[in-house]
Structure 1
Amino acid sequence: MRTLQTESSEYMNLLRDKNFHILNLISIVSIMSNVLNPAFRAIGDAFQITADQVGLLTTVYSIPMVILSPVVGIIADRIGRRRILGLSALIFGLSAILSVNADTYTILLFSELLRGIGQPGLVIVIIVLIGDFYTDKNRNHVMGINTAIMNAGLAVFPIIGGILAGMSWKYPYFVIFAAIPIALLAFFGLDEPEIKKEQGKILPYIKEALTYYKNGRVIAISSVSFAVYTLLAGCFLVYAAFILEDPSWIGVIFAVMSVFSCIPSVMVEPLIKKLGEENLVRITFVLFAIAFIIGANVTSVLTAMMFSAVFGLGIGIIMPVQMIMLLPLSPDHVRGAFISIQNLMHRLGQAIGPVLFGFMYVRAGLPGVFYAAAAVSVIVFIISLKFLKKGK
């Protein structure tokens, strides 16, 4: 039986592990773009551009992520994780230097494109390295802590960005400068996992990675991930901003979600031990359904916060759990490609979600969006009872 002393010893070992700290720093870099969201209006004023032109900055930033997501892991498998991670963080940080020196809208667009090129290597390789460096219980601890740190950053960065953007549209970009020394830390401080690097022909290698997606459990987990990102990007991140008439509360609503998501993330290992991974997935979609029903009936700041908090609890469970379930299902030498394919599922969910719920918004208004999201959550819950089986 695992004792409190054993648990404490495991955490102390993690605290002494340099790779653990470097990966967490890189994870913080991967979400730094959120510091820019509050600056969009100031950017529009500074460059005298319209709201849709400001929105194009996000589109340009997203394009490389869609294109590169399927290939970043493949490259990491073949030339090494550390190189890709360090280079991605360096590109990400250098883009901010170009941004703060941009004197035209075109240059600013190019800087967003550059930052988007750096992003996929951060997100994908972090997950791959957690799979490489850690096994079993340690992996669960690391994934939970890593997710909690990222969620905390998602709560803090918009607040920092809002304060800095109030002084100048350029100031939030200075936060992203921190990616440069962290990139150097990754280059020179992070260990390269001792795995066989793929040097063979690319097509058989990709085919091998894809064969693992014939596994019923992988298909089920990937489908869950797709549903999560469809609900997150298509419903919550878009329509939570419209549930209150006072726009000053928008940042608070998003911050509440991020803060509450940290709670189950740091507890993911004991939660898995107590309830099991599959049941945690099902609990997530129950929480989502409850949250969206609350969202459809928001009448005050308090109920809006309840909506955000319950949804945050679900996100805090599912984000680490889905990767904990997925990582053991691929061998080391194709893990990069395997996770890249999974990341593509996330991007597809992010792309389809806004279209799906946008259609519902036109047809049924804001309550209809949330009721539709609740219905999707219930459907996924029911499907998980049938197809998401332990160890299969």
Structure 2
Amino acid sequence: MTSHRVRGDVPWSSTSLQTVLACSLIGVMGVPLISPILPDLRTVFGISDSQIALIITAYTVPGVFLTPFIGLLSDRLGRRTVVLPLLFLFGLAGGGIALGPSFRGVLALRFVQGIGGSGLMMLAITLIGDFYGGEQRNRVMGINGSAIGIGAATYPLLGGVLATVRWNVPFVFFGLSLVVGSIALFTLEEPSIDDPPAMRTYVSRVLSAVLVPRALGLWAVAFLTFFLFYGGILTVLSLLLSDVHDFSAGQIGMLFSMVSIANAAVASQYGRISRSLDPKELIPLGFVGFGVSLLGVWAASTPVLIGAMLLCFGLGFGLVMPSLDTSAVGLVSSQFRASMLGILTSMLWLGQTVGPITFTGIATAAFDEPVTGYRFLLLCCGMASFVGGVLVLLALSRR
């Protein structure tokens, strides 16, 4: 087995790294690609705001429950044995939506697609932890986060453009996962890790690691990050831009790309940033960025100002996500790494799942006009994120 732990630089020519980055790009595709067309899908299927959120929820629900088991299977059976079927399942189910099923059929296929997508980014992070160590791991983790940011910046733009042809054309693009899976079949190496212990010992050690205070903090941060992003930005802001500013899917996609552009820029420099600041400092700093962004979106009166505030959200995202990944990877040895990252990813999926239905549900149930509710929720979440981040930074500085 080829060793990747040789230098601090990024091994761009490594087929393993290329496959890992491809898996991450596929894993992040499931929601950003179609988020700009959510308003259009309301018309296509004749459904309400709360129902349209189900298109995201149906995709994210499997990840809440399955990623810990996917991590366990990966630790026990090997990385390749798990990641390849997920790639093919993602592409087949996602591409199947392009055939134009009923709304219930779309939800069913999104659920199956979510099973495929649930473990891809988690396994990509696991493979980085397996293949790389030390400063090189931080650099590759940052590059992976940057790639995710670039992909997430491109997908809303691409989804909006493809939707101008027909509403179902963006779903055809999910078939790219079949190509990646076919290539990975021949290029993805199986990392060399120690054999896991007996199942009872394995489960006992994982449960012990999951419940330590440091790990519990990571799970909470993961949930809140994606709760705010998928609920407050990708769902609520998409509807606000359509209903208040009369934006098209393509225009919404262009604005959303601001988040991912800033994320990619910051994450690409994470290796350098992490030399000066510890992840426990970078995470609350990122939440300060979330708070400034959400408050700015609430107060902004023009699309230009909204775009600037989305850049701020992306800056926070670029600090938080690599910090979460590197912290989780370092919690345990390689024998248990996938299971721990499975728990982390489960929390991310839970945030994705709960965020959209919470924001839309509260806004439609508690307010006469959903738009009023959306703006109120942005204000409350922005204040909570900003104040919480500042308080944690102050507490750390006193220590």
TM-score, normalised with respect to structure 2:
0.85
In the alignment, which of 263, 271, 287 is matched to residue 289 of structure 2? 287
User: Where does residue 377 of structure 2 map in the other structure?
Assistant: 369
Offset of residue 277 of structure 1: 2.3
Q: Give matches, 1:228-239, under 5 Å.
A: 228-239=225-236
Offset of residue 354 of structure 1: 4.4
User: Where does residue 5 of structure 1 map in the other structure?
Assistant: none
User: Where does residue 23 of structure 2 map in the other structure?
Assistant: 26
| TM-aligned CA distance change 1:223 to 1:109, over 3 Å | closer
- 1:17 and 2:25 correspond: no
User: Where does residue 218 of structure 1 map in the other structure?
Assistant: 215
Offset of residue 207 of structure 1: 2.2
CA–CA distance in structure 1, aligned partners of residues 217 and 396 of structure 2: 7
SS of 2:162's equivalent in the other structure is helix
In the alignment, which of 287, 296, 299 is matched to residue 297 of structure 1? 299
CA–CA distance in structure 2, aligned partners of residues 38 and 293 of structure 1: 22
Q: Give matches, 1:1-392, under 5 Å.
A: 10-11=8-9, 13-33=10-30, 34-39=32-37, 49-51=46-48, 55-102=53-100, 104-198=102-196, 200-201=198-199, 203-241=200-238, 242=240, 245-248=245-248, 249-354=251-356, 357=359, 361=363, 362=366, 365-377=373-385, 378-383=387-392, 385-386=394-395
Q: Deviations over 1:15-58 (max 9, x none)?
A: 12211111111111112223234455666666x55356655443
Offset of residue 311 of structure 1: 1.1
User: Identity of paired residues, percent?
Assistant: 25
| TM-aligned CA distance change 1:80 to 1:247, over 3 Å | same
Cα RMSD between the aligned structures?
2.8
Q: Deviations over 1:56-79 (max 9, x none)?
A: 443332332223122110111111
Q: Is the 8 A contact 1:282 1:384 kept in 2?
A: yes
Corresponding letter in the other structure for 1:296: W
CA–CA distance in structure 2, aligned partners of residues 289 and 387 of structure 1: 19
CA–CA distance in structure 1, aligned partners of residues 397 and 225 of structure 2: 15
The number of equivalent residue pairs is: 379
Offset of residue 131 of structure 1: 1.1
More helix per residue: 1
CA–CA distance in structure 2, aligned partners of residues 125 and 388 of structure 1: 35
CA–CA distance in structure 2, aligned partners of residues 326 and 385 of structure 1: 24
| TM-aligned CA distance change 1:235 to 1:169, over 3 Å | closer
SS of 2:287's equivalent in the other structure is helix
After superposing on structure 2, the runs of 4+ consecutive aligned residues of structure 1 that deviate more than 6 Å are: 387-390
SS of 2:235's equivalent in the other structure is helix
User: Where does residue 4 of structure 1 map in the other structure?
Assistant: none
Which deviates more, 374-383 or 51-60? Answer: 51-60
TM-score, normalised with respect to structure 1:
0.86
Q: Is the 8 A contact 2:97 2:106 kept in 1?
A: yes
CA–CA distance in structure 1, aligned partners of residues 98 and 357 of structure 2: 33
Q: Which has the higher contact order (CA 8 A, sep 6+)?
A: 2
Q: Is the 8 A contact 1:220 1:387 kept in 2?
A: no
Offset of residue 194 of structure 1: 0.9
SS of 2:165's equivalent in the other structure is coil
| TM-aligned CA distance change 1:60 to 1:234, over 3 Å | closer
Gaps of 5+ in 2: 1-6
Which deviates more, 369-378 or 49-58? Answer: 49-58
Which deviates more, 144-153 or 232-241? Answer: 232-241
| TM-aligned CA distance change 1:305 to 1:105, over 3 Å | closer
Which deviates more, 56-65 or 70-79? Answer: 56-65
Gaps of 5+ in 1: 1-8
SS of 1:35's equivalent in the other structure is coil
CA–CA distance in structure 2, aligned partners of residues 300 and 85 of structure 1: 43
Corresponding letter in the other structure for 2:164: G
